[in-house]
């Protein structure tokens, strides 16, 4: 629809210029005004003339009447004036042309190239080492990777960075716990679960014996000073953790270009601290080194503790500087909890005050919190749902359905994995990223209604139809309104890509997939496809099915879901 909107906008602007009524408007601004009516009886596109009423000093119905002949073109079957709206009905000729364009482009339909030659750095997932990959990590992981896929879809070279939480006092706690209660053979056998058990035990014991926290700080200080034994344990904890994380990333089809975590920037922070001193940005407050941000309505950004040790902002500034120097990014996107919004606002401002123009290319993409039955997630108390367990439950459910309904399905284990994992991802990404989610297991594992399995089943249905068809079909005349409506939905795909990018919102793609599936299934139940009596009608419907298949396939990949041809 983008091309049609642009053509209509050009024609409307020409009409306004004839009347000397453009008032500084350009075609792009006019194109942004078009709306999709909520009721198909009101047209396929609507131009709200009241938006021009003040500038033109005329009533909206009069403006609609004046502009009516400007939208007379082959793409528009008819236009109607309804109050202050100019409602347009798209012609079958345009829909046929659009369908041909979709199939000609195939999996390149919806792509743009405005990102070509530019780099985007995305920092996402980033779990804390030696802690489990639980439902709370799902947001940053799938939102981040979806944004990576979306940016690649429009031509950007994307660098995915997993900024591991591999530094901090939690390692002092784990070292103390391991030496008091741990056993190497047990941990080698149990992996990250055993590390988590030690971490939980430490916090339980520290409640009764606070001196344990002092010991943990001492052990982390030794780690910071490269104590040989502590460094060896630290590296071992990281190795165990990464082995576990990689299993989850493999299930999601995610690969990272860098696993440089917090520790990587340890030797790069002193230069940042010195630069802040040299630029007179840092002051001492109660023994700590800060950048005062009071005039920007923010609290101080802490750079060094009283004892001279660094904090998160110091590490993040050093990491951003390294990434700019290394990748020369167009944007550096951070996908983290909304609870960290102030933290990012503060150190983004510090980078700006340091004189770096690229500070404005740093983007924080926040997402809402996840709770379980209304209770906050907490590793130290064990109130988490591990992703591996959640995925396993979902996959087992799909495997049972396949065994019951299609026991001879080839590659059933791979299909169960794709659909089961996809169900969880789809459930999460159906919500706005900023919305807080109360995770209810029964809802996540429900396959009824607008779900991931429903969408993947619809895709598999298109694959089955195309496999049975003797050819790919071709565009012809439309004989049913459900055909027309389906093409109109498909025509919006490029706009959805731009909307998702502009809002950093994968939900837009997820819900668009549901729109396509719902429209296709109305078409499927309304029209015979392979069994159509007329060969021309059959070819048109097969051709339309091919377009749906292509759009769903690319859209699934944009939200971290593996499409399956059979279920």
Q: What is the DSSP letter of 127?
A: P
Is 128 in a helix, a strand, or coil? strand
CB atoms closer than 10 angstroms to residue 155? 14
**What's the whole-number mean pLDDT along residues 196-201?**
90
pLDDT of 160 reads: 98
CATH code assigned to 2-90: 3.30.1360.70
pLDDT of 382 reads: 54
CATH code assigned to 390-558: 1.10.730.10
CATH 1.10.730.10 segments of the chain: 390-558
CATH 3.30.1360.70 segments of the chain: 2-90
- Kindly list the distances between the CA atom of residue 105 and the CA atoms of 100, 509, 554, in Å, as whole numbers in the listed order: 9, 19, 12
The distance from CA 486 to its chain's CA centroid, rounded to whole angstroms, is 25
Please tell me the least confidently modeled range out of 24-38, 273-287, 520-534: 24-38
Which tokens is 251 given? 């299930």
Residue 557 pLDDT level (bands cut at 50, 70, 90): very high
Q: Which residues contact 300 (CB under 8 A, 6 or more apart)?
A: 285, 290, 291, 292, 293, 294
Tokens 């493999």 identify what position? 250
Please tell me the least confidently modeled range out of 123-137, 319-333, 476-490: 123-137
Whether pLDDT at 438 is above 90: no
**What's the whole-number mean pLDDT along residues 69-92?**
94
pTM of the model: 0.92
Please tell me the least confidently modeled range out of 351-355, 446-450, 525-529: 446-450
Whether pLDDT at 375 is above 80: no
Please tell me the least confidently modeled range out of 68-72, 245-249, 435-439: 435-439
Label residues 160-186 b or e (16+ Cβ within 10 Å = b): bbbbbbbbbebbbbbbbbbeeebeeee
Please tell me the least confidently modeled range out of 40-54, 74-88, 342-356: 40-54
pLDDT digits (tens, 9 = 90+) for 202-228: 999 999 999 999 999 999 989 988 899
- Kindly list the distances between the CA atom of residue 493 and the CA atoms of 145, 182, 366, 400, in Å, as whole numbers in the listed order: 20, 54, 25, 34
pLDDT of 378 reads: 57
């Amino acid at each position: 629809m983008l091309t049609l909107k642009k053509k209509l906008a050009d024609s409307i602007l020409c009409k306004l210029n004839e009347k000397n009524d453009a008032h500084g408007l350009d075609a792009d601004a006019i194109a942004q005004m078009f709306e999709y009516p909520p009721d198909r009886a009101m047209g396929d596109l609507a131009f709200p003339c009241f938006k021009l009423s003040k500038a033109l000093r005329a009533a909206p119905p009069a403006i609609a009447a004046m502009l009516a002949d400007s939208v007379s073109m082959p793409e528009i079957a008819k236009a109607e004036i309804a109050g202050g709206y100019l409602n347009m009905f798209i012609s079958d000729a345009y829909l046929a042309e659009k369908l041909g364009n979709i199939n000609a482009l195939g999996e390149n339909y919806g792509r743009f190239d405005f990102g070509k030659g530019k780099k985007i750095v995305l920092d996402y997932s980033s779990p804390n080492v030696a802690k489990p990959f639980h439902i709370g990590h799902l947001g940053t992981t799938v939102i981040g990777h979806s944004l990576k896929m979306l940016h690649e879809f429009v031509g950007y070279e994307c660098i995915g960075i997993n900024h591991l939480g591999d530094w901090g006092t939690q390692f002092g706690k784990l070292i103390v716990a391991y030496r008091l209660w741990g056993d190497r053979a047990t941990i080698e056998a149990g992996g990250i679960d055993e590390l988590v058990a030690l971490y939980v035990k430490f916090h339980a014991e520290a409640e009764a014996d606070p001196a344990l926290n002092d010991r943990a700080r001492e052990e982390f200080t030794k780690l910071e000073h490269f104590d040989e034994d502590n460094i060896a344990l630290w590296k071992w904890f990281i190795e165990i953790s990464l082995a576990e994380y990689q299993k989850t990333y493999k299930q999601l089809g995610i690969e990272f270009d860098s696993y440089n975590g917090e520790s990587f920037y340890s030797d790069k922070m002193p230069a940042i601290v010195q630069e802040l001193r040299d630029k007179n940005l840092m002051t001492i407050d109660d023994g700590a080194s800060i950048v005062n941000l009071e005039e920007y309505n923010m609290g101080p950004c802490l750079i060094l503790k009283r004892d001279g040790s660094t904090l998160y902002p110091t590490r993040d500034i050093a990491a951003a500087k390294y990434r700019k120097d290394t990748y020369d990014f167009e944007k550096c996107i951070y996908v983290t909890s909304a609870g960290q919004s102030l933290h990012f606002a503060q150190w983004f401002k510090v980078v700006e005050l340091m004189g770096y123009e690229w500070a404005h290319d740093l983007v924080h993409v926040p997402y809402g919190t996840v709770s379980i039955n209304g209770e906050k997630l907490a590793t130290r108390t064990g109130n988490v749902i591990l992703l591996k367990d959640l995925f396993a439950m979902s996959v087992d459910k799909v495997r049972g359905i396949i065994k019951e309904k299609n026991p001879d399905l080839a590659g059933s284990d791979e299909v169960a994995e794709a659909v089961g994992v996809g169900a969880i991802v789809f459930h999460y990404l159906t919500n706005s990223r900023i919305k807080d989610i109360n995770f209810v297991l029964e809802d996540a594992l429900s396959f009824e209604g607008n779900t991931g399995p429903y969408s993947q089943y619809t895709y598999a249905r298109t694959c089955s139809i195309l496999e049975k068809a003797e050819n790919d079909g071709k565009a012809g005349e439309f004989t049913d309104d459900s055909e027309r409506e389906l093409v109109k939905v498909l025509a919006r795909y490029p706009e959805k890509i731009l909307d998702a990018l502009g809002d950093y919102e994968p939900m837009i793609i997820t819900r668009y997939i549901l729109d396509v599936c719902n429209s296709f299934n109305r078409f499927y139940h309304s029209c015979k496809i392979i069994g159509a009596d007329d060969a021309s009608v059959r070819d048109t419907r097969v051709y339309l099915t091919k377009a749906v298949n292509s759009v769903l396939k690319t859209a699934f990949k944009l939200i971290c879901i593996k499409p399956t041809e059979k279920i």
